[in-house]
């Protein structure tokens, strides 16, 4: 749904999109008002074509500057969630703005908006611009002919007003964002790959017990470096990072290399799968020793039998490192697809920037 | 759905923060028909050992029949799965008291008659300390937005429209269909002003 809706041209700026899935915020990348709802609310939408919603507070996350090589939308998302907490944007609709956001592809914008809910925001949005229009144009269900011109004119009016006031403003510098990895059991427990795990004394008292429990569950020790942590398996896929650009980023790292550990690569849709195969990406993954499997949620949510075994450590391009998410006792580290590919190559948590020489 | 305005029942404390939806009910149980009841899967991996037996020291296992949970902040964060609410309701839980809730979880709770009672962090800690690993009766007054546990009293916050729904047991679909004429008029207007938004199928 979160991959297919946009690629079919069904997700358009200015629409209201609801789905019984919290990652519906993905569609906000198009300037769409999109949010996840429960099953009772889904029935309400189907019965009435409307949904009750309290007006959320507004929050703007502005990311200025430009991202360095090997740094992606996933790292922006994990970075702000680590800074503000998993309930940092609770009750808010988030608009992402600034030069670094404008510089993202639609795939990157979808990754960023997708992860809004991991910071507590039901909505994540980006004002539509020429990048948005170029992505939509010509897709199967996109407006055509005169309707296209009218639509674009309408969509250009969807940006926030100059000088608009937000209930909360957050400013980030893209040049300070490094490839980021989660170390715990909540997406807010994330650090740059170059960091060491926090000591008990570094953690605010309110979060200390959760951190201690997370380290115990994850089989990690306070103070150890993230880089070099031995990983058992990898997973690339999900509605967060299963799009063609994600697979290209992972393949760029894996090309001509062997994975030291097993793993799955699950494209986000049948269309992504076909495109990846046309580009030869599947052969890069299989030559590296990874399994190229069908599209779907797969190992992100441990629902269809693609499980991580108890106590095993998985480098994963997914969205939640909750206890048991990928299987009972599974240890999940969230990171970008390129970072997952780097972990596959070395068998450890690795700074992908060291594997990109001659490749970017 | 039956409405309610006061509830008295046994409370237990789960002091952890961020009890997310994957912990409330792991996804692997969500293909079970609701008619079978989701109660056995509530907090499955927290309250059961690897063989599926109840852990003796887990508060909910110690106090069968508890109907109120006092939890840490950000309860129900994560997924939109309404199954997280079904698991609580089917296990007999009527009220969850916490400093904050996942937004989607809170909406889902109200749609199933479960009260997400938001209280101050300090009051939450007082309740948790009063309970420890034990249980005590708690009384919750929806209209007054107040609760009482022994000598501890506290107020909680709840959106007015949500309180009205819980007290009356109202179903949103019935309420919305009362606005059918206005909805149809709006749809008609939008059809004129944003014709591009109406799907006439692919070429």
Query: How does DSSP assign B64-85, residue by residue?
Result: TT--EEEE-SSBT-S---THHH
- DSSP string covering A18-65, please? EESSGGGGGGGGGT-EEEE--HHHHHHHHHHS----PPPEEEEEEEES
Instruction: Of B139, B126, B158, B138, give the one whose Cα is nearest residue B12.
Output: B138
Cβ separation of A303 and B30 shorter than 8 Å? yes
Q: How far away is chain A from the Cα of B152, in angstroms, using its nearest Cα?
A: 23
- Pick from A15, A20, A52: which is nearest to B172 by CB? A52
pLDDT confidence bin for B200, thresholds 50/70/90: low
- Pick from A48, A54, A207: which is nearest to B183 by CB? A48
pLDDT confidence of residue A302: 83
CB of A308 within 8 Å of any CB in chain B? Answer: no
Looking at the fold, whether A53 and A106 belong to one and the same domain comes out as yes
Q: Is A247 inside any structural domain?
A: yes
Cα dihedral B92, B96, B101, B106 sign? positive
Give me the half-sphere count of Cα atoms (radius 13 Å) on the Cβ side of residue A207: 19
Looking at the fold, whether A155 and A189 belong to one and the same domain comes out as no
Domains of chain B: 6-170 (3.20.19.10)
Which residues of chain B lie closer than 8 angstroms to A81, CB-CB?
A: none
Cβ separation of B22 and A38 shorter than 8 Å? no
User: Which A residues in the span 146-185 are in contact with B, Cβ-Cβ below 8 Å?
Assistant: 147-148, 150-151, 154
Cβ separation of B22 and A143 shorter than 8 Å? no
Looking at the fold, whether A49 and A168 belong to one and the same domain comes out as yes
Q: What does the DSSP 8-state code read for residue A333?
A: E
Looking at the fold, whether A36 and A155 belong to one and the same domain comes out as yes
Looking at the fold, whether A159 and A226 belong to one and the same domain comes out as no
Looking at the fold, whether A336 and A238 belong to one and the same domain comes out as yes
CATH of the domain at A13: 3.30.499.10
Q: How far away is chain B from the Cα of A354, in angstroms, using its nearest Cα?
A: 33
Looking at the fold, whether A167 and A201 belong to one and the same domain comes out as no
How many Å apart are CA A348 and CA A344, to the nearest integer? 7
Cβ separation of B80 and A213 shorter than 8 Å? no
Q: Are A49 and A87 in contact (CB under 8 A)?
A: no
Give me the half-sphere count of Cα atoms (radius 13 Å) on the Cβ side of residue A41: 25
Q: Are strands A233-236 and A313-316 parallel, antiparallel or unpaired?
A: parallel
pLDDT confidence of residue A360: 75
Q: How far away is chain B from the Cα of A345, in angstroms, using its nearest Cα?
A: 30
- Helical (H) or strand (E) element with B95: strand B95-98
| CB contacts < 8 A (A, B) | 138
- Pick from A21, A43, A147: which is nearest to B195 by CB? A147
The mean pLDDT of B134-143, rounded to a whole number, is: 97
Last residue of a domain, one of A158, A175, A192: A175
Q: How many structural domains is chain A composed of? A: 2
pLDDT confidence of residue A303: 79
How many Å apart are CA A17 and CA A34, to the nearest integer? 5
Whose tokens are 């599974």? That residue is A330
Cβ separation of A38 and B85 shorter than 8 Å? yes
Looking at the fold, whether A14 and A146 belong to one and the same domain comes out as yes
Listing from the earlier edge strand, what are the strands of the sheet with A168-173? Answer: A123-125, A92-97, A57-64, A168-173
- Pick from B45, B82, B197: which is nearest to A324 by CB? B45
User: Which B residues in the span 144-203 are in contact with A, Cβ-Cβ below 8 Å?
Assistant: 159, 161, 172-173, 176-177, 179, 183, 187, 194-197, 199, 201-203
Q: How far away is chain A from the Cα of B201, in angstroms, using its nearest Cα?
A: 7
Q: Is A113 inside any structural domain?
A: yes
Residue of A31, A39, A328, A331 to mutate, testing the B interface (most B Cβ within 10 Å of its Cβ): A39
Q: Is A16 inside any structural domain?
A: yes
Q: Is A360 inside any structural domain?
A: no
pLDDT confidence of residue A304: 80
Range of the domain at A195: 180-355
CB of B125 within 8 Å of any CB in chain A? Answer: no
Three-state DSSP string of A129-143: CHHHHHHHCCCCCCC
> Residue length, chain B?
203
Q: Are A130 and B140 in contact (CB under 8 A)?
A: no
Which residues of chain A lie closer than 8 angstroms to B197, CB-CB?
A: 12, 14-15, 151
Looking at the fold, whether A254 and A325 belong to one and the same domain comes out as yes
Last residue of a domain, one of A175, A196, A224: A175
Looking at the fold, whether A87 and A161 belong to one and the same domain comes out as yes
Cβ separation of B73 and A87 shorter than 8 Å? yes
Torsion of CA B167, B169, B172, B174, to 10 degrees: -120
With CA atoms as reference, the chain B residue closest to A47 would be B173
Question: Which residues face B117 on adjacent strands?
Answer: B97
Cβ separation of B18 and A140 shorter than 8 Å? no
CA distances from A228 to A225, A290, A316, A349, A351 (A): 7, 21, 16, 5, 9
Torsion of CA B105, B108, B109, B112, to 10 degrees: -160
- Pick from B50, B79, B111: which is nearest to A40 by CB? B111
Q: Is A51 inside any structural domain?
A: yes
Q: Is A278 inside any structural domain?
A: yes
Last residue of a domain, one of A121, A153, A175: A175
Q: Are A289 and A259 in contact (CB under 8 A)?
A: yes
Looking at the fold, whether A244 and A264 belong to one and the same domain comes out as yes
With CA atoms as reference, the chain A residue closest to B79 would be A22
pLDDT confidence of residue A191: 97
Q: Is A73 inside any structural domain?
A: yes
CB of A22 within 8 Å of any CB in chain B? Answer: yes
Cβ neighbours around A204 below 10 Å, total: 7
Looking at the fold, whether A195 and A141 belong to one and the same domain comes out as no
Each residue's pLDDT expressed in tens, for chain A with a length of 360 residues: 899 999 999 999 999 999 999 999 999 999 999 999 999 999 999 999 999 998 999 999 999 999 999 999 999 999 999 999 999 999 999 999 999 999 999 999 999 999 999 999 999 999 999 999 999 999 999 999 999 999 999 999 999 999 999 999 999 999 999 999 999 999 999 999 999 999 888 888 888 889 999 999 999 999 999 999 999 999 999 999 999 999 999 999 999 999 999 999 999 999 999 999 999 999 999 999 999 999 999 999 887 889 999 999 999 999 999 999 999 999 999 999 999 999 999 999 999 999 999 887
User: Which A residues in the span 67-96 are in contact with B, Cβ-Cβ below 8 Å?
Assistant: 86-87, 90-91
Query: pLDDT tens digits, residue range B91-130?
Result: 999 999 999 999 999 999 999 999 999 999 999 999 999 9
Write the CB contacts of B40 (distance below 8 Å, at least 6 apart in sequence): none
Whose tokens are 């919305």? That residue is B176
pLDDT confidence bin for B203, thresholds 50/70/90: very low
Which residues of chain A lie closer than 8 angstroms to B187, CB-CB?
A: 49
């Amino acid at each position: 749904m979160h991959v297919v809706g946009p690629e079919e041209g069904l997700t358009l700026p200015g629409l209201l999109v609801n789905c019984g899935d919290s990652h519906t915020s993905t569609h906000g990348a198009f300037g769409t008002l999109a949010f996840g709802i429960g099953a009772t609310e889904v029935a309400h939408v189907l019965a009435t074509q409307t949904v009750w919603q309290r007006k959320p507070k507004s929050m703007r996350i502005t990311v200025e500057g430009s991202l360095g090589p090997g740094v992606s939308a996933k790292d922006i998302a994990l970075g702000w969630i680590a800074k503000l907490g998993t309930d940092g944007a609770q009750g808010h609709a988030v608009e992402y703005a600034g030069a670094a956001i404008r510089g993202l592809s639609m795939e990157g914008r979808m990754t960023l908006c997708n992860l809004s809910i991991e910071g507590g925001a039901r909505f994540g949005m980006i004002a539509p611009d020429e990048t948005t229009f170029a992505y939509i144009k010509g897709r199967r269900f996109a407006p055509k002919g005169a309707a296209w011109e009218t639509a674009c004119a309408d969509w250009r009016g969807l940006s926030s007003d100059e000088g608009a006031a937000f209930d909360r403003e957050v400013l980030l510098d893209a040049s300070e964002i490094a490839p980021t990895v989660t170390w715990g059991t909540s997406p807010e427990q994330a650090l740059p790959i170059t960091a060491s795990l926090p000591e008990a004394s570094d953690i605010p008292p309110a979060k200390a017990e959760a951190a201690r429990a997370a380290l115990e569950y994850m089989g990690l020790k306070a103070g150890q470096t993230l880089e070099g942590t031995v990983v058992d398996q990898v997973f690339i896929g999900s509605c967060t990072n299963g799009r063609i650009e994600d697979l290209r980023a992972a393949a760029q790292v894996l090309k001509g290399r062997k994975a030291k550990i097993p793993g799955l690569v699950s494209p986000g849709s049948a269309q992504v799968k076909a495109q990846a195969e046309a580009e030869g990406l599947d052969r890069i993954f299989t030559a590296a020793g990874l399994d190229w499997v069908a599209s779907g949620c797969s190992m992100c949510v441990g629902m269809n039998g693609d499980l991580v075994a108890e106590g095993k450590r998985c480098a994963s391009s997914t969205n939640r490192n909750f206890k048991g998410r990928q299987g009972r006792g599974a240890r999940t580290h969230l990171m970008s697809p390129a970072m997952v590919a780097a972990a596959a190559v070395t068998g450890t948590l690795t700074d992908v920037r060291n594997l990109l020489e001659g490749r970017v | 759905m039956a409405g309610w305005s006061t509830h008295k029942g046994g409370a237990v404390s789960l002091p952890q923060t961020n009890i997310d939806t994957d912990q409330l009910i792991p996804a692997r149980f969500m293909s079970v028909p609701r008619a079978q009841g989701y109660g056995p899967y509530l907090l499955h991996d927290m309250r059961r050992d690897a063989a599926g037996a109840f852990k003796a020291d887990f508060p909910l296992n110690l106090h069968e029949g508890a109907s109120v949970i006092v939890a840490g902040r950000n309860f129900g964060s994560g997924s939109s799965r309404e199954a997280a609410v079904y698991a609580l309701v089917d296990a007999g839980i009527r009220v969850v008291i916490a400093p904050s809730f996942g937004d989607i979880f809170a909406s889902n709770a109200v749609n199933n008659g479960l009260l997400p009672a938001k209280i101050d962090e300090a009051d939450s800690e007082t309740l948790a300390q009063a309970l420890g690993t034990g249980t005590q009766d708690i009384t919750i007054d929806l209209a007054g937005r107040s609760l009482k546990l022994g000598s501890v009293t506290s107020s909680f916050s709840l959106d007015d429209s949500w309180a009205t729904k819980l007290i009356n047991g109202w179903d949103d679909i019935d309420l919305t269909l009362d606005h059918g004429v206005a909805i149809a008029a709006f749809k008609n207007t939008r059809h004129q002003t944003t014709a591009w938004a109406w799907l006439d199928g692919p070429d």
